Chain A
Amino acid sequence: MEEKNKNNHILDEVTGSEYKYGFYTDIEADQAPKGLNEDTVRFISAKKNEPEFMLEFRLKAFRHWKTLKEPDWAHVDYPPIDYQDIIYFSAPRKKPQYESLDEVDPELLETFDKLGIPLEEQKMLAGVAVDAVMDSVSVATTFRETLAEKGIIFCSFSEAVQKHPDLVKKYLGTVVPYTDNFFAALNCAVFSDGSFVYIPKGVKCPLELSTYFRINAANTGQFERTLIVAEEGSYVSYMEGCTAPMRDENQLHAAIVEIIAHKDAEVKYSTVQNWWPGDKHGKGGVYNFVTKRGICEGDNSKISWTQVETGSAITWKYPSLILKGNNTTGEFYSVAVTNNMQQADTGTKMIHLGKNTRSTIISKGISAGRSNNSYRGLVKTTRNAENARNFSQCDSLLLGDQCGAHTFPYLEVGNRSSVVEHEATTSKISEDQLFYCLQRGIDMESAIGLIVNGYAKEVLSKLPMEFAVEAQKLLSISLEGSVG
């Protein structure tokens, strides 16, 4: 191992130095010039003051990306993206955009209120100047101290690259290699920042790593990257994303999440995604093309994904799990809502490699307006995955008669002792249900909110408590105006 690292280091040095030629971009600039080439990649790496191995990683990814074609198999439709017309790096906005909340779009504030987001956090999310002594900042500091005592590392990806390069080097790209797919390769080449979580052996993380993240979520970039490593016997519950609507001038978002669970470790990953979906005609929304994957590396480990997807014009996302260790468990709980012209193609992949591996998939799609909502999932048990078990349930709920719901299950069973079950239902909110609510004095919007939340309850109950409440409100808000 030592030897290999040393070799890599030398390799890095050699290859790295070569790249210095032809490097011409002014690194004092706040943003990279439009377009993507090796210089852009070098610019980003230099801007972030990264060690050679990172630059090497990015360049390899970039060179591979150039050989790839954008995938077109998803059940989504959008005009071609001009990858040369994108600015791949701009320095995070440090200056607040506004002096007070009065200057912020009232529609946005109304949504914040409906979600019940505290005032100080509203300011943060909307980009309003806040006092340095603000509560949440000190909360964040307290958090860090508590975590540090346990040896937990929880920081931005950039910070991890600087302070814990060995860990980053050891795990980066091990679950989602840069060769994985078009968007993953793109992310590897140009990723801006993200989060890094490391839970040492035997440590149960005493906090939901969620509140902290949310406070910091407002300034996350276009190409995020999250890496979570849970050592033997550790536990962590991690939440990212935000229920508040995130408006962003960047149309293309291509994130990567990698999770590694060692022996007896457990990782719970929850996310709420509410990127700007565009206007009613689908103009201007975010394209969210994400690669998320976890590996249950050691025996008896467990990873669960819980996601609530309500935003983005297009969502292309399949949080997946490789159940490599024996007796490992994978779970996927998803609620995906599409309204107006939104398109979502989302699901999961459960790859059973180890013996006695278990996976559960609960997917709840809700379509309204003229949107399209697809579940796409693969369950695969290999020859060695004796006694593997999977249960999948994919339900679709339709509101109105102009939307679409689709289910694309792929099942590959590689041995005789595995059992794979798939159940699917499609239903509509009935007139009778709505009238029943109306007759009890509950108006149409609230009735739809109630019924939809009831339908998604099984998944929402998996979210950390504080987010479950917000997610419920979010579902109702996302479907406002979808009926009648």
Chain B
Amino acid sequence: MLSIKNLQVSINGKLILKDLDLEVKEGEVHAIMGPNGSGKSTLASVVAGRDTFDIDKGEILYRDQNLMDMNPETRAREGIFMGFQYPVEIPGVSIANFMRTAINEKRKHLGLEPLSGAEFLKLMEEKKKLVDIQSKLTNRSVNEGFSGGEKKKNEIFQMALLEPRLAILDETDSGLDIDALKVVANGVNKLRRKDNATIVITHYQRLLDYIIPDYVHVLYEGRIVKSGGKELALELESKGYDWVKKEAGAQIQG
């Protein structure tokens, strides 16, 4: 589904990602972990198509298409979803209106008829139940005055509505209490299918108690320095990032 090869990304001449390789296949859940400033969020933004970065070299293939040739909205319509670490507020625009626009843009791209108001409301009710989100939230303006937890739940709700092929959740767990964390994780698990894939970006292992990844990668100073199964997350939890840093340091020097 997603194949990143030899990716090098910089911002204002400063290297952020170096020689990064990542293969994500259908049905898989990947966790990307790493200390602050290791380039996790940059990776998510680059895949989503934010243009504040320079791609110096490498390639990103998404379903065998060159992702660099697609603008951000096309990527989204082709099934890439990013759960934002800091979802922005859009005052005066209701979630319902926002999402209906988004869904119909996607449907247009896929050559489908737009959803009518009634059809959309039905879909919304369905997905509300699925991700266990409160009814009143969807009548409010996008993220306006939402608590941290509500914002993150709203991201998962949007993900449920858009049914992405590839979801990248950027630190969706940060700032969540345990109940909100469970709601978010539960949503992700319910949306998990054989034909889609999820990349979970997180600083802590905590989220991975609820979302069980197939692979864990450790990102450090712009490189993936270690990859493994779900047990790698536990190892990190007990040994801390210093352990990875030391190993990585030895690797880089050697």
Residues of A within 8 A of B (CB): 430-433, 435-444, 446, 450-451, 453-458
Contacts and interface: CB of A to CB of B under 8 A. Distances in A.
B35 interface: no
A446 B93 CA distance: 12
A91 B240 CA distance: 86
B101 interface: yes
Contacts of B109: 441
A439 B75 CA distance: 8
Nearest to A444: B73
A450 B97 contact: yes
A381 B158 CA distance: 50
Nearest to B75: A439
Interface of B: 48-50, 52, 71-73, 76-77, 81-82, 84, 86-93, 97-99, 101-102, 105-106, 109, 141, 158, 162
B93 A450 contact: yes
28 contacts: A430-B88, A433-B88, A433-B89, A433-B90, A436-B84, A436-B87, A436-B90, A438-B71, A438-B72, A438-B73, A439-B82, A440-B76, A440-B105, A440-B158, A441-B76, A441-B77, A441-B105, A441-B109, A443-B73, A444-B73, A450-B93, A450-B97, A450-B98, A451-B93, A453-B93, A454-B90, A454-B92, A455-B91
B48 A451 contact: no
A436 B89 CA distance: 9
A44 B91 CA distance: 51
A442 B97 CA distance: 12
B92 A456 contact: yes
Contacts of A443: 73, 105
Contacts of B158: 440
Contacts of A446: 101, 105
B109 to A, nearest CB: 7
B30 to A, nearest CB: 19
Contacts of A457: 92-93
A455 to B, nearest CB: 6
Contact of A441 (B52, B92, B97, B106): B106
B103 to A, nearest CB: 8
A116 to B, nearest CB: 14
B101 A454 contact: no
Given A432-B88, A433-B88, A438 B105 contact: no
B14 to A, nearest CB: 19
A453 B92 CA distance: 7
Nearest to B52: A431
B55 to A, nearest CB: 17
Nearest to B108: A441
B90 A450 contact: yes
Contacts of B84: 436, 439
A434 to B, nearest CB: 9
B92 A440 contact: no
A439 B90 contact: no
A451 B72 contact: no
Given A435-B72, A441-B76, A455 B92 contact: yes
B42 to A, nearest CB: 14
A441 B71 CA distance: 10
Given A438-B49, A440-B162, A446-B101, A454 B91 contact: yes
Query: Nearest 9 CB-CB pairs, A to B?
Result: A454-B92, A454-B93, A441-B76, A457-B92, A440-B102, A438-B72, A441-B77, A441-B105, A432-B88
A433 B92 CA distance: 13
Nearest to B83: A439
A441 to B, nearest CB: 4
A440 B93 contact: no
Contacts of A436: 84, 87-88, 90
A436 B92 CA distance: 15
Nearest to A430: B88
Q: Most B CB atoms within 10 A — which of A437, A450, A451, A453?
A: A437
A376 to B, nearest CB: 24
Nearest to A454: B92
A451 B49 contact: no
Nearest to B74: A441
A46 to B, nearest CB: 52
Contact of A440 (B50, B52, B91, B98): B98
Contacts of B48: 439
Contacts of B92: 453-458
A438 B101 contact: no
Nearest to B93: A454
Nearest to B98: A450
A77 B92 CA distance: 33
A294 to B, nearest CB: 28
